Structure 1
Amino acid sequence: MFTKVLVAEDYEIANQGIVKVLNDEVGILDIKEAKYCDDAYIKFRKAHQSEDPFELLITDLSFKEDHKVQTRTSGIELIQDIRKIDPTINVIVYSQESRPDKINMLFQKLDINGYVCKGQHAIKDLVNCIQGVYKGDIVLPSEVTDANTDNIINLDDFDIMLLEELALGFTKKEIVQKLKKQKISPNSESTIDKRVSKLFDDFKAKNTTHLVAIVKDLGLL
């Protein structure tokens, strides 16, 4: 079982609950807590530099504002920055977010190992998730496994690239020119138009601004 865990959670009661579960139900004793993402990042970096790294990160997605200016304000940013230091660390997201699309996107974009929705069965789900991740499994919550797969959007790297370019304000024609210049294919106007149109349909977006807003809300950008 994991022996050293970092918990990033800004609500004290939830934080204490996670620690108690790790202690009593899973048998993990070496646990460090952080109420803010920057604090969690600093603790992780220090442990890594001292060659006594954390094996598992359990983090919420949203954090309340602090009186201090925070470099990282979300669990997504925390995961991304920690993974830059240690790409192999196991990550479990523990959040109230229950939308299948957003949860699925976190697995796709951040390559997280497990997800637990806060709720009635959260303690049992968290224990099962930790045990599954330790075994090397990817642990999806019931919110995803029980969802209609036809309604879950799956994006590939090319879709993500298009969304990033649109978010930067480039038009479809400008994206085509950029792809051709960089010799990235497919790069035909018809292909880009079809892919962008599909993104509009998938996310039910009215225009590019709306599409970018939706995608950012889902944590893709």
Structure 2
Amino acid sequence: MFTKVLVAEDYEIANQGIIKVLNDNIGIAEIEEAKYCDDAYLKFRKAFQDDTPFQLLITDLSFREDHKIQVRTSGIDLIRDVRLIQPDIKVIVYSQEDRPDKINMLFEKYKINGYVCKGQHAIKELIHCVDGVFEGQTVLPPELTEMADNDGFVELDDLDMILLEELAKGFTKKEIRLKLIAENITPNGESSIDKRVSKLFDNFQAKNTTHLVAIVKDMGLL
């Protein structure tokens, strides 16, 4: 089992609840906590530099603003920067976010290892998630697995993400096509790009490009 865990959670009750579960139910003794992402990052970096790295990061996604200016203001920022230094650290997100599209994005884009939604069954699911991640599994929450075959579930691949990122930068479909060709990314035909963009509009029920970009940014996909 994991022997050293870092918990990033700004609500004291939730923080202590996670620590109690890790201590009492799973038997993890060495646990450090942080209420802000920058503090969590500093603790992580010190442990890594001291050659006593954390094996698991459990983090929320949203954090309250502090009187100090924070470089990392979200769990996504923390995950990204921690993985730049220690790519093999296991990551579990523990959050109230229950939108399947956003949860799926965390697995696809940020390669998290597990996800637990705060709620009635959170303790049981957290125990299951930590056990599974330790065994090398990718632990999906019920909110994601139950929606996987639902017609309303949107799954984005690498090309979809490229299109969204380029549209967000203000590039036209023609300019995006030329960039795909230059970078040897396929499919890059005019018809293929048109169909992909049209599908994105339909999936997110967007009225125009500005609306589409706003939606995916709000969901944390960009």
Deviations 1:64-102 (A, max 9, x none): 101111111111111111111111111000000111121
Separation in 2 of the partners of 1:57 and 1:82? 9
Deviations 1:105-140 (A, max 9, x none): 111111111110101111111111101111111111
Partner residue of 1:173?
A: 174
Amino acid in the other structure paired with 2:192: T
Change (3 A) 1:2 1:13: same
Partner residue of 1:202?
A: 203
1:186 CA drift (Å): 2.4
Partner residue of 1:114?
A: 114
Partner residue of 1:190?
A: 191
TM-score by length of 2: 0.96
Separation in 2 of the partners of 1:63 and 1:175? 35
Q: How many residues align?
A: 221
Partner residue of 1:96?
A: 96
1:199 CA drift (Å): 0.9
Partner residue of 2:74?
A: 74
Amino acid in the other structure paired with 2:93: V
Separation in 2 of the partners of 1:144 and 1:206? 26
1:180 CA drift (Å): 2.8
1:185 CA drift (Å): 2.9
1:151 CA drift (Å): 2.1
Structure 2: stretches of 5+ with no match in the other structure? none
1:1-221 superposed matches below 5 A? 1-147=1-147, 149=149, 150-221=151-222
Deviations 1:41-84 (A, max 9, x none): 11111111111100000000000101111111111111111111
SS of 1:151 mapped into structure 2? coil
Separation in 2 of the partners of 1:159 and 1:197? 11
Q: Which moved more, 1:100-109 or 1:11-20?
A: 100-109
Separation in 1 of the partners of 2:135 and 2:187? 39
Separation in 2 of the partners of 1:92 and 1:26? 15
TM-score by length of 1: 0.96
Q: Which moved more, 1:171-180 or 1:94-103?
A: 171-180
SS of 2:24 mapped into structure 1? helix
Deviations 1:171-209 (A, max 9, x none): 111112222333433222222111111111111111111
1:148 CA drift (Å): 5.3
Separation in 2 of the partners of 1:115 and 1:68? 29
Q: Superposition RMSD on alpha carbons, in Å?
A: 1.2
Structure 1: stretches of 5+ with no match in the other structure? none
SS of 2:211 mapped into structure 1? helix
Separation in 1 of the partners of 2:50 and 2:117? 33
